[in-house]
Chains A and B, each alone.
Chain A
Amino acid sequence: MTLEARTARVKVGPFEITAATYNGSYGGPILRVKPGDILHVRLVNHLAQATNIHFHGFHVSPQGHGDNSMHPVMPGETWDYVIPIPENHPPGLYWYHTHAHQMAERQLMAGLSGSLVVEGFQDQLPSLKPLKERVMALKDFQADENGDLYRVLKAYHRDLRTINGQLMPRIDIEERETQLWRLSNQTANTFFRLTLEGHTFRIVGRDSEPVVHPETVKELIFGPSQRVDVLVDGGKPGAYKLVSERTLTGPIGDEFPAQNMALLVVAPPGGSPPPSVASEPDYAYKSNLSGATIDAQRLIVFSSDDAAGLFFINHRIFDHERVDIRVPLGNTEEWTIRNSADELHIFHIHQVHFQVMSVNGQPQPFDGMVDTVTVPIHGEVKIRIAFTDPLIVGRFMFHCHILEHEDKGMMGQIEVYDPKAPASSQDGGMGDMGGMPAMSQDQGGN
């Protein structure tokens, strides 16, 4: 597949905006692959600035022509991403997006992203197979009267929050029909609190993988880059609004006003009973990291300097030539992510998924593996990560996925190395970031 990154005037409802698109589509093409496939994406950069692509959530190699977010594709250049997807790769909803450091926020908001489905999620939850699947990419764009992206994003600007590039699309469903909605937050900075008049959401998956404990919620909360799979059951015939409620990310954070996102139209049942799922689907993971032996513990601190407008991880802004953490292949580690700021941050690491162990000291029951987690204000989240897949050897990033923060420094670099590989292939000159030394230990998991 060829993705041509270029600016384009695109229609969003009654408005026309100057977007940055893949192949002219603001919503972004949906890519579908299967475990065992080779994903070949040719990126042609027609933009005036560098860009690249990150395949968010993929457990694949970060090196060479793989999911290599370190490599900038300069204006006029072409780059081939050739990514063998392992046979055992978790199926689910992923997404791909620009990862051009210092420009990612604007490029993503302008449209440079799309949904990426690894087929097989419904095979894990067979009761969902008959259901209609809707893949929804949620984006937002703050446009001035000319349709250009504002230089500074504000709560009071015209915010065009879209689903698959459409403003207030219509979604059809039958009474008593169950549909599988697969939502990905492809905004740069926005948290969603989605409500659906007269309806609830049944959460069956997060960040591509099934949850262990499905739950029914009236309000669906997910932050930048997070995905959520939900079941929606058609209620009584009528029209219902899907609303993105007002959100605030803290005293020094951002505010996003409420907006209607879509109109759900429930039709009376047709001739045959619509597909539905009455009970919650079950999914049992073969194992998790609760009982794992922990090889190292690390501390990651998010903080910011409001006056300088910079965002830090362990008081360092990102430097792509500095390796902040070196991890030997085979380690299972416990990381504490601390938020020292008066606003929310959302932690993401490339190439691996992790298990959330506790939030603000409260142990969390295992509910599946994720690749992002929101860290409460002045709070802490403990996660466990298994760096055991030889595919992930190489350098990749961890960062706050509020892209304004990432662009302004809140990103670090990790190198997973194979201790059994010849020394000449190892980069021994790069030490750990100060304050993040691995504290080796053998401790039983809790």
Chain B
Amino acid sequence: MRAILLWAIAALAAAGVAGHAAGSMAMDIGGWPKLGFETEVNLEYDFLKPDHAPAGGALNVQAENETLLEFDDNWSISNLLTLEPGQNLEPGRYGFLEDHELFVEELFGRWNNQLVNVRFGKFAQNFARAWYLTPGLYGQDFVGDYAIAETLGLDAQFDLGFPSFGLHQITISSFMQDSTFFSESLFHDRGRLTYADGGPGNTLGLHSFGITYDATNLPIATDVEANYQLSFVSLGRGSDGQADEHRFAASFDANIPLRGGTIAQTLEGRFEELRLFAEGVHYDDADGFRGHGRNYLTGATEFVHGPWVFDLTATERWLTGPGLHDYDSLQSIAIGYALPSDTTVAIGAGRERVAGENGFLVGISISQTLTICDRCLIRGRHY
């Protein structure tokens, strides 16, 4: 299966290159290369009150810097540099930034034409969407589990054409967990991932693969558009596993404008929209153990009223298999306001039940996006 997938990616890429070569008479009018450079900084204070443990608060900084270097319409390199709190660290033992990790989350080349988009290098897999679409301060707390990030490999996204009912794409990929020096981090050094660390997808070659079908901008009613995704990945057995892990995901979302259908209303900022999102994810042979299952079910509603955003989310997570009875849940609410300066201020609250323990979360966050360059010309004058 993996061999077939690699051949398919290669064939798609070759078809794309051939198409590009056939149309490579384009006149270069001096607009390349171009640079994009954007940083998003998020400052968040969270206060956790477990039912049976002392309460505590923590201030976290998260920053993401995205750099995009485009050589022409077809070739580009992307880099995503991330600073975030280290995982599983004991609170209070570290100084400022010492408990944070700075690492290369993505670094890949991209080649695309009108039919196919090929990535190669380190990037996150196109599997499921809740881990980046679920809104609110805590909406992604559980679903972040199944983001398949920091993988090395290649994928190809093929446009299946544009019949008048939306856009339909299929992505196929082959990958492995990154165990190069790019898996290390600065400030708090999390160390290099090794094969001996185990875990699904942590293999000695491209032994994991995925296939995802995306349908977007489906006009399902007047003014209403929907998107859905069906996805499957097989994560190769790690050094500590008994079997490959298989994950399945299905998600659906819709945007429903409630007011602001006229140009005047939009321009005045009197725009209201309801966004609905639902996703289910199932693991077979979870964590590489035969017979173990893991399940997630997420629902989210977002109401946009001009610069105001109101979010409600709920996620259920449960395990299945011999002796496994864990059932976790999360409900959260958040209110955000977007300022013209690309600053978003949000407050949120959440109630979590994890391994039988309840906890209550409240927090406030300030996010700032700084776009230094948006497809700037590297050489020459602005005009």
A pairs with B: yes
Question: Are A377 and B260 neighbours in the complex by a CB distance under 8 Å?
Answer: yes
A12 at the interface (CB under 8 A from B): no
Question: Are B376 and A151 neighbours in the complex by a CB distance under 8 Å?
Answer: yes
**How far, in whole Å, are A96 and B222 apart by their CA atoms in the complex?**
37
A221 at the interface (CB under 8 A from B): yes
B197 at the interface (CB under 8 A from A): no
A379 at the interface (CB under 8 A from B): yes
B268 at the interface (CB under 8 A from A): yes
Question: Are A321 and B340 neighbours in the complex by a CB distance under 8 Å?
Answer: no
Question: Are B271 and A251 neighbours in the complex by a CB distance under 8 Å?
Answer: yes
In the complex, chain A residues whose CB is within 8 Å of the CB of B266? 248-250, 344, 376-377
* A340-B225 in contact given A249-B266, A257-B340 (Cβ < 8 Å): yes
The residues in B between 360 and 381 inclusive whose CB is less than 8 angstroms from any CB of A are 371-376, 380-381
A299 at the interface (CB under 8 A from B): yes
**How far, in whole Å, are A407 and B34 apart by their CA atoms in the complex?**
13
**How far, in whole Å, are A320 and B26 apart by their CA atoms in the complex?**
7
B57 at the interface (CB under 8 A from A): no
Interface residues on B, range: 35 or more
In the complex, chain B residues whose CB is within 8 Å of the CB of A48? 380-381, 383
In the complex, chain B residues whose CB is within 8 Å of the CB of A309? 36, 68, 374-375
- Choose from B163, B304, B383 the contact partner of A49 (Cβ within 8 Å): B383
- Choose from A316, A321, A361, A408 the contact partner of B25 (Cβ within 8 Å): A321
**How far, in whole Å, are A72 and B114 apart by their CA atoms in the complex?**
23
In the complex, chain A residues whose CB is within 8 Å of the CB of B31? 49, 102-103
B341 at the interface (CB under 8 A from A): yes
Query: Which residue of the partner chain B has the closest CB to A298?
Result: B164
Question: Are A376 and B261 neighbours in the complex by a CB distance under 8 Å?
Answer: yes
Output the residue of A48, A101, A148 with the most chain B CB within 10 A: A48
**How far, in whole Å, are A352 and B73 apart by their CA atoms in the complex?**
29
**How far, in whole Å, are A361 and B29 apart by their CA atoms in the complex?**
42
11 A-B pairs within 8 Å (CB atoms) are namely: A7-B381, A50-B30, A100-B29, A110-B382, A112-B383, A149-B382, A151-B373, A151-B376, A301-B217, A321-B25, A321-B26
Residues of B whose CB lies within 8 Å of any CB of A are: 23, 25-27, 29-31, 36, 68, 73, 114, 159, 161-164, 167, 216-217, 219, 222-225, 255, 257, 260-264, 266-269, 271, 273, 304, 306, 340-342, 371-376, 380-383
- Kindly list the 4 A-B residue pairs having the minimum CB-CB distance in the complex, ordered from nearest: A435-B162, A50-B29, A340-B217, A155-B340
Residues of A whose CB lies within 8 Å of any CB of B are: 7, 20, 47-51, 72, 74-75, 100-103, 106-107, 110, 112, 148-149, 151-152, 154-156, 191, 193, 219, 221, 223, 246-251, 255, 257, 299, 301, 303, 309, 314-317, 319-322, 338, 340, 342, 344, 360-361, 374, 376-379, 407-408, 434-435
